[in-house]
Amino acid sequence: MKGKLYALFFALIAVLFSACGSNSNDVVSPNGEIRVQLTLTPTADSEYGTVSFAVEYGRGKSAQTLLSGVTLGMETDAQHFTDGLKLISVSEPTPIEEAYKMITGKRSHCFNSGTERKYRFENEAGGQFDVVFRAYNDGVVFRYDLTALGEGTEYILSESTVYPIPQGTNRWMQTYAIDYEGFFPLNTDGSVAGRSRFPNYWGYPALVEPQEAVFVLITEANIRRGHSGSRLYNGNSPDRYEVQMPDEKVAFSGAWSSPWRVLMVGSLADIVESTLVTDVSEPSQVGDTSWIKPGPASWVYWAYNHGSKDFQIVKDYIDLAAEMGWPYDLIDWEWDVMENGGTIDDALSYAHERGVKPLLWYNSGTSWIGPGAPGPLDRLIDKATREQEYAMLNGMGVAGIKIDFFAIDGAEMMNYYIDLLEDAAKYNLLITLHGATIPRGWQRTYPHLMTTEAVYGAEWYNNNPLLTPRAAAHNATLPFTRNVIGSMDYTPGTFSDSQNPHITTHGHELALYVVFESALQHMPDRPDVYRALPEAVKTLLSGLPTAWDDTRLLGGYPGEEVIIARRKGDTWYIGGLNGTEDARTLRFTPATLGIEGLSIALFKDGADPRSFTLEDSTPILDPTAEIAIDCLPRGGFTAVIH
């Protein structure tokens, strides 16, 4: 028996290492820091078995295994690729080299640079499927490629991808909800905190710290037609997070490729600065993009829930946008029943007179909302009606729409998102998705997708008191989790109170405009609040970019603090947040940004939480010298380096 096992062992080694004609089947990043190692574990007395992989970070003796035993496999109604597999070929390492531009996001010039290998497996019935891996300097991605048997329809039933995360490992995960509006609390045992409509289900992105100061962020990218948006499930074991679809089955015919499973890997700076989600997504499908312009928008809903019904209130927000130099004003729900001196036609005319581009809210019309849902409703579901509405809006000079209230991330809903985006491009309409799924790379494929909610944001000050005591830590966690994967419509900068107060400082709230990336940054507070701000603060907000040429993380740790620098042209904007209940000094060094001989303006916490301390532009005499900013509890700062 021992001889048979040894023979089997060496046969497997031969299969694994001879197929590619080299000494290793590993996939290695261009800088050599990240390595993917595949393992085939045989079943008894068989050359077939289960397939898993590990991710190694670092080189030589300093290398660390971050994830191990990540299982692979797919099952359809006609084919089984889970536990009876053997490796039959491995492609040679192929370099991936692509440069592309982004209109929105954390960086305008991006580089998709990695190493790819394709592994072909065969099951005991002779069926074959491929797993494609890419290793990047900031992470790993993989996908499944398979072909349906015959010419008919086949159904994806399940995926066998499982991420083991041992007990005691720091993780910041959000319990799954269809709108992705939840917190990312620090957890070490995989238990569910609080209630969930979907027990033991977790949404993307999921941040894990498998080794001290080394992180993995788990998500997915490149959702296309026929794809279901997946989620994670650890109900069978708290340490094992299974990739699961909300659909019982997903139909396909011919060749089929899954979305990319994405693992960003490295320091927190590697995670925050990564563009991996857009790197592996489809290129832009929009030819002429000259009409796509990021920018701030005044927004009525946060301060006046039913304000879009009131023509006079809407006019005040249009006036605010004109005064502040913001290009847009978002007229939210119930604009179709506007009263008090004017209709939506009057509001649009007034906006055009003031040089402001109007945006309008729409209900997606998904049936799960039920009767009595806010309007306008049911104008976008049917393609013919949708295109008629889009054409009308374009003719009326509407610049874009915010579409709200979407259902669960099944393939049918993913197709609907794509329908909405593709048709909107024909009529030069910017899109904001609200009450919606997370970004999965569409901001590259459809660059008129300006921002997506999918966050427990400032809107929740309207709904219940939960955000008030948790906002500071939550805000200092989002840059490492949700905002990593795409624009985030948090609606930051609430200096006054809504139905529930905020206890973050003015310095903290101002910094959110820089710390949180959103190509359409909706400015939520009351017009009189903005008008009463110090002149220097108003000047900052009037010229604040919302899409960036570069992004750097200068320091921080989830839930404690964060300092992010974003560049537009020759100017760096730096935002810092104290996420704790104690006073804290935040520090950064200008030289890390590669700048010298410039000046810096500071907007800091004042003597009390609802005031500012402002420091005019002063020369940076020594860019290598550390700049220290004292912050109040739940405080923050903004710096502008010219």
Around Cβ 626, how many Cβ atoms within 10 Å?
10
Nearest-angstrom CA–CA distance, 142 and 34: 14
Residue 134 · residue 116 · CB < 8 Å? yes
Around Cβ 158, how many Cβ atoms within 10 Å?
16
Residue 210 · residue 66 · CB < 8 Å? yes
Around Cβ 336, how many Cβ atoms within 10 Å?
17
Residue 600 · residue 561 · CB < 8 Å? no
Nearest-angstrom CA–CA distance, 29 and 48: 29
Per-residue burial over 181-220, b = 16 or more CB atoms within 10 Å of its CB, e = otherwise: bbbbbbbeebebeeeeebebbbbbbbbbbbeeebbbbbbb
Around Cβ 619, how many Cβ atoms within 10 Å?
9
Q: Which of 156, 157, 172, 174 is nearest to 231 (CA)?
A: 174
Burial class (CB in 10 A: 0-12, 13-18, 19+), 3: exposed
Around Cβ 296, how many Cβ atoms within 10 Å?
25
Nearest-angstrom CA–CA distance, 81 and 422: 34
Helices 383-395 and 411-426 cross at an angle (nearest 10°) of 30
**Active-site amino acid positions:** 404, 459
Q: Which of 613, 409, 415 is nearest to 506 (CA)?
A: 613
Query: Dihedral angle at the C-alpha atoms of 535, 537, 542, 543, nearest 10 degrees?
Result: 120
- Write the CB contacts of 357 (distance below 8 Å, at least 6 apart in sequence): 327, 328, 329, 351, 397, 399, 400
Nearest-angstrom CA–CA distance, 243 and 261: 9
Helices 344-353 and 311-324 cross at an angle (nearest 10°) of 20
- Write the CB contacts of 330 (distance below 8 Å, at least 6 apart in sequence): 297, 298, 299, 300, 301, 358, 359, 360, 361, 402, 432, 522
Nearest-angstrom CA–CA distance, 578 and 475: 9
Task: Give DSSP secondary structure letters for 377-420.
Answer: -SSSSSHHHHHHHHHHHHHTT--EEEEE------HHHHHHHHHH
Alpha-carbon separation of residue 615 from 112, 388, 603, 606, 637 (angstroms): 40, 52, 7, 11, 11
Residue 513 · residue 541 · CB < 8 Å? yes
Phi, psi of 393 (to 5 degrees): -60, -45
Nearest-angstrom CA–CA distance, 113 and 97: 5
